[in-house]
Chains A and B, each alone.
Chain A
């Protein structure tokens, strides 16, 4: 069996599993945020009317809650959703609730690893499509909708069809100026936004061994844009050390057997990967930065679970140091602990001195909700994950997806720029 089959077999009490088997798997951790939480409460209301009891969760200790999409609240509906979320955690006795304005908080997929909410070997589900991110720790991590999340909250388990696994092998270390974001854009450009649909995408090879945990998180994060059920990297010493530094020491490490089967194996030579962008209006619309259209950008956005982890900010700071931005540039660290580290290590000074604005962690602009949405005809380069029509604001705005290094270099020139070409 491969790692995905092993984790699902463990969680469903089966000796072995193969693709297309359907199981009910016990869930180890579950996350809801300020969009899926109120959505789940609507489902609970519906269930109550049908006579299904919703007074007690299966295990409040396995549930954790993030406030990320609509914080800081821009208007009263969002503010009320945050109140609903607080009432929810109080009512059901959920202790792990990361609140905006109260110490560590941030984007759920960042907290999942920074706060070691998930450990290797877990079956982890979240009420958000980018839950896939945390598979980078060697867990089965999968996004679900409100009904499924409500089902898990009440029953502790959920059905899965065991996915076929595609294996993406990276040979060698990615060159300087090339980030994990470039690799995952390349992969999505190759397989398309439905290339991973219903499937698991596993990453391995010497390039992944050498890659940081944060880089692996970026890869797994955007398996969602290929439609994948989950992204996964087998845990290694780096994963264990990373989690130990975040206070978790109880990993269950699963590795695929020598005779594990994969539906497809894709090989990439790290030395051949270049800085890339995905043009509007699809993450699969990928081109090398040096061949990107010469458009006048209005904004550079460095934020989100995909592109505002500490290493993303560090890479952007390297580019922005001693330079000035020519377009509106917004940098939003993905969590308060990243924000703090960026402050302590001088990154915030670099950003502010370059003319960029630094904001609080939020999903706001990434999903076109608030905190910096785009106007009609505006063009943005962004470290986020999607660029569908209207994703970041007006339906006639445009978003180019890139690494933080490319977004920073483009902020300096006002055009889509390869960081290697900066003077």
Chain B
């Protein structure tokens, strides 16, 4: 999975800035995408490209249970969010709805990766390759259940009885 980075060197990026509350009534995915990250970066929609990754600090996605948050990012083209840590509902919504991959990274990778860097993420090897900087980082492996749901393509395609 290859893409470029949009970096926000900020902790606690919350769902109110990822998709402000006034858009909770909107359930059209394409329209939600146009408001992604609006509370933090009004230019996000014009700069994001399909396949991009968002990089941020700890506790990404804290706040509300709104699935609008991973939907807005995913429908903007974001394939993965890389962060030091994630808030639980955002994490689970991203995986169960198969919207994007929430990838936990280490402090060293967070500091090293810059806006615009091209990354190649290999989740089977738990490895992130920075093609721009010629560096390699480890990602935190997914827990067993999360790995299985991702492999299945979301919660509805995951069959626990086959385990």
Contacts and interface: CB of A to CB of B under 8 A. Distances in A.
Nearest to B143: A161
A148 B154 CA distance: 10
Interface size range on B against A: 35 or more
A391 B21 contact: yes
A166 to B, nearest CB: 14
Interface in B15-29: 16-17, 20-22, 24-27, 29
B16 A391 contact: yes
A82 B78 CA distance: 31
B68 interface: yes
Nearest to A370: B22
Name the residue among A24, A127, A194, A229 with the largest chain B CB count within 10 angstroms.
A194
B59 interface: yes
Contacts of A147: 67, 93, 96-97, 154-156
A395 B20 CA distance: 9
A386 B87 CA distance: 15
A323 B29 CA distance: 49
Name the residue among B65, B144, B156 with the largest chain A CB count within 10 angstroms.
B65
Interface string B1-44: 00000000000101011001110111101000000000110000
Interface string A362-389: 0000011110010000000000001011
Contact of B88 (A22, A193, A198): A198
A52 interface: yes
Nearest to B86: A197
A78 B26 CA distance: 9
Name the residue among B12, B16, B88, B144 with the largest chain A CB count within 10 angstroms.
B88
A331 B109 CA distance: 48
Nearest to B69: A145
B79 interface: no
A282 B92 CA distance: 23
A388 B16 contact: yes
A145 B97 contact: yes
A369 B156 contact: no
Contacts of B145: 22, 159, 161
Nearest to B144: A22
Interface size range on A against B: 35 or more
Interface stretch (A34-42, A168-176, A414-422): A34-42
Contacts of A194: 12, 58-59, 62, 85, 87
A35 B32 CA distance: 14
Contacts of A129: 63-66, 89
Nearest to A45: B27
Contacts, number: 130
A268 interface: no
A129 B39 CA distance: 20
Contact of A145 (B14, B65, B156, B160): B65
A77 B25 contact: yes
A69 B93 contact: no
Given A197-B87, A390-B39, A395-B39, A35 B156 contact: no
B95 to A, nearest CB: 9
Contacts of B25: 35, 38, 69-70, 77-78, 81, 369
Contact of B67 (A22, A39, A52, A77): A39
A143 B89 contact: yes
B39 A145 contact: no
A52 B145 CA distance: 22
A369 B68 CA distance: 15
Contact of A390 (B17, B64, B66, B93): B17
Contacts of B65: 36, 127-129, 131, 143-145
Contacts of B88: 197-198, 227, 229
Interface of B: 12, 14, 16-17, 20-22, 24-27, 29, 39-40, 58-59, 62-68, 70, 85, 87-89, 92-93, 96-97, 143-145, 154-156, 160
Given A22-B143, A145-B96, 8 more contacts: A35-B24, A43-B97, A52-B156, A159-B155, A367-B64, A388-B17, A389-B16, A395-B20
Closest A-B pairs by Cβ, 8 of them: A145-B93, A367-B21, A147-B97, A145-B67, A129-B65, A194-B59, A146-B67, A388-B16
